[in-house]
Structure formats: structure tokens, C-alpha cells
Amino acid sequence: TKYIAHLDLDCFFVSVERVKNPALMGKPVVVGGSPGGRGVVASASYEARKFGVRSAMPTGQALRLCPHLIVVPGSHGEYGDYSDRLYKRICELAPVVERASIDEMNLDFTGCESLYGNNLPQFMRTIQKLVSDEFKLPCTIALASNKTVAKIAANTVKPNGVIFVPHGTEREFLAPLSIAAIPGIGKKTEEILKRKGFSLVADLQAIPEERTVEILGRHGSWIHAAANGGGSETIHPERTRKSISREETFSHDISDRAKLEKILFSLVEDVCASVRRKSWKTQTFSLKLRYADFKTITRAQTIEPSNDDAVVFRTVSELLQTAYTRNLAVRLIGVSLTNFIEETQTELALFPADRARAKMLDVVNKIRTKFGQDVIHVGGV
């Protein structure tokens, strides 16, 4: 018998911003881009959702729906750091943890029943309290026999809920839910099924798999299994992260190279801080550039391992000089770091001046963690 938990951080980006600024508590808040251009909502508080505000909605539209909405630009580097720290903490409690996204995790507690007092449903509440106490973040946790049922169950008790679907009751639990509750049934599939007379999961449970496949094609087999309580029981532990990247889409296209370099420097600071927190260095730096006509180019370069803002910026700014060759404004710029090695692998080669700078960069990270990303910037070597 499998025990799979799904942990979902409620309106994660907004919740992190509320940790930083408690005055945002209880107010309609979104993390998103500028309302004056192409900005979209990345995360919306439940207070904002009451007005119809949703993720991926243009920020300008969100403000029209909710005029007193508070728009926070957000810092995706910080969200990644929160996610990383929480992931490491959860790995201390569950033998196998899979990060499904920046704000979702699947946990396998199979075989841990006696370890947690033969009451895993109650232990889910313990985990929820731990996330609240240690990270100040609200979360919803569902425990079930597989990942699909756990994810569906979590969505039924958000925000800040805990639920257990006992083994053998999956079909009964799913039956009264809307067909849209099943992952994989998007708007188009939902429309097709509703035209055929299917509105509840129970309606799908009442027909054979062959009929579901007849309506939806091969995708129908998976939908049929999910409607009847099936789902993957396999948890894939996280492997070493392959890249760390940040990018920014502008509200208005930019052709001023000085402005582009200023934005690029901010992105470099962000990714380098993330790399240093992991005690890594990176050897390959990539620049991403998207022109106003949507043509996108990338340039990469490999040098001696580094996590120094100045070194990385010098490299990617040189890439910018060689990449920005068209007489056309830019709508997006991004930087990506790959090819990581552990910092300790290079320490023996450091000269005294290098060690001093490495210590300085560590202090910079600590100051930014405490007071914010923009409180201090790093100069050249």
C-alpha cells in the first residue's frame, strides 16, 4: 500500500512577499509585471481571486477588476531560494521527495507508518505546522494512494487545508467532483466532454475505457484511469539542478545598450547569489536576447569556474556586445548559468586575494538575505 502526499504552497509568490512585508496580509495582492505594458499576473492572493483576478492575466486587466489591488514586482531568485530551503527541510521528514514545481512537492511515506505513530494523516498536519512555523508559509497537504488523487484532493481543500483519501475510497471521493478537477482536462477537453453530457467525474466512471478513448483518443485511457482513482505511484527524487537562469520581459522594447546592461547586471547578481548559496561555481554562461520581432538568439561561453558577479557580468556583457547586432529594439533579455562544480573543488587553487573576495561575496549574500537584493551591489575585481 502506497502513501503519497502532495504538498502545495498556497499562492506561493504572494506568501513570500507577505513574509517580507506583513502589511500585505489580508489584502488583495498580486506578484506580476507592470500594468503599463505586457505585464502579467504570476501569483494572486485569495483576496484578489474573489474579484476574478487569476494567474497569467494581464496586470492591467487585474487592476480593472480590482482597482485597489496591490501589485508587487517580485523577486524570482528569492522564491527559488525559499523553495530550495523548504525542499531540503522536507527531505529530512520523507524518505523520497519529488519537486513537481517551484511550489509543489510529492512525498512518499510508504513504509513510514510506524515511524510516525501509525497516523500519517495526523503527521500531515504536523508538516503543515512546521512549514508555517519555520518558513511562515501557508500550505495545503493531501495524502492518498497515488500522485494524481493526492493532487486532486489538495485542490479541494485549498488554501491551508489537510485531507486524507483512504485507500479503496478513491472512486467515491472523485465521483462528485467536476471533470475539470482531473489534471489533463483543460478547457478544450472539458468543452468536448460537456457537449457529450459529461460534467462530473461520476459520469466518466460510468462508461468503459473504450468509450473515453473513442471521444478523446489515446489521451482517453489516462483520463479514464484517473477518473477511477488511478495514478502514478512513482516518486522521482530531485537530481542536481542543470541550470540557474533569470530573464526579464520589458513593458516597452528597449534599444538603449546602457539600459540593457543595467538590467543584465541585476539579473547576473540574482543568479550568482543563487549559485553561491548552493556553494557552487559555474563554468558556462549564456545570454538570451529576444528582439521586438520575437526573433530569439542565445550566445554562450565557457571560462574558469566562478560565482563572482563581476566576472560573470564581464563575460555576459561581452556576449551582449557580439549578440546585439540588429538595428532593432529588444523585448527580453536573460542570463543562464550551467556546468556547475562544487566550490570546494576549486578552493585549493585560490590565491589569498581570491579567498578574500570569496569571503566578501559570502558576506554580500548574507546582507542581501537579511535586508533585500538591492541593498548592496558588487563592484569589479
Q: What is the pLDDT of residue 81?
A: 85
Arithmetic mean of pLDDT, 18-23: 94
Whether the per-residue pLDDT at 24 is higher than 50: the answer is: yes
pLDDT band at 350; cut points 50, 70, 90: very low
Residue that wins the pLDDT comparison between 358 and 59 = 59
Q: Which of 45-49, 160-164, 179-183, 351-355 is predicted with the least confidence, judged by mean pLDDT?
A: 351-355
- pLDDT given for residue 182 in this prediction: 94
* Mean pLDDT on 242-266: 89
Q: How confident is residue 349, by pLDDT bands cut at 50, 70 and 90?
A: very low
Give the mean pLDDT of 43-50: 95
- Rounded to an integer, the average pLDDT of 289-308 is 87
For the segment 172-195, the average pLDDT, to the nearest whole number, is 92
Q: How far apart are CA 357 and CA 59, in angstroms?
A: 41
Q: What average pLDDT does this structure show over 168-184?
A: 95
Residue 311 has pLDDT above 80, yes or no: yes
Average pLDDT over residues 256-273: 91
Q: What percent of the chain has pLDDT over 90?
A: 53
Mean per-residue pLDDT over the chain, rounded? 86
Q: What is the pLDDT of residue 237?
A: 75
Once rounded to an integer, what is the mean pLDDT over residues 293-317?
87
3-state secondary structure the chain: CCCEEEEEECCHHHHHHHHHCHHHCCCCEEEECCCCCCCEEEEECHHHHCCCCCCCCEHHHHHHHCCCCEEECCCHHHHHHHHHHHHHHHCCCCCEEEEEECCEEEEECCCCCHHHCCCHHHHHHHHHHHHHHHHCCCEEEEEECCHHHHHHHHHHCCCCCEEECCCCCHHHHHCCCEHHHCCCCCHHHHHHHHHCCCCEHHHHHCCCHHHHHHHHCCHHHHHHHHHCCCCCCCCCCCCCCCEEEEEEEEEEEECCHHHHHHHHHHHHHHHHHHHHHCCEEEEEEEEEEEECCCCEEEEEEEEEEECCHHHHHHHHHHHHHHHCCCCCCEEEEEEEEEEEEECHHHHCCCCHHHHHHHHHHHHHHHHHHHHCHHHCCCCCC
% of the chain at pLDDT higher than 70: 88
pLDDT at 240: 54
pLDDT at 293: 86
Is residue 247 within 8 Å of 333, Cβ to Cβ? yes
Phi, psi (deg, nearest 5) at residue 28: -70, 115
C-alpha cell read off for 358? 570569496
The half-sphere exposure of 106 on its side-chain side, counting CA atoms within 13 A, is: 26
Burial of 380 (0-12, 13-18, 19+ CB in 10 A): exposed
Give the active site residues. Answer: 104
For residue 308, is pLDDT > 90? no
Looking at residue 56, its pLDDT comes to 83
pTM summary value: 0.65
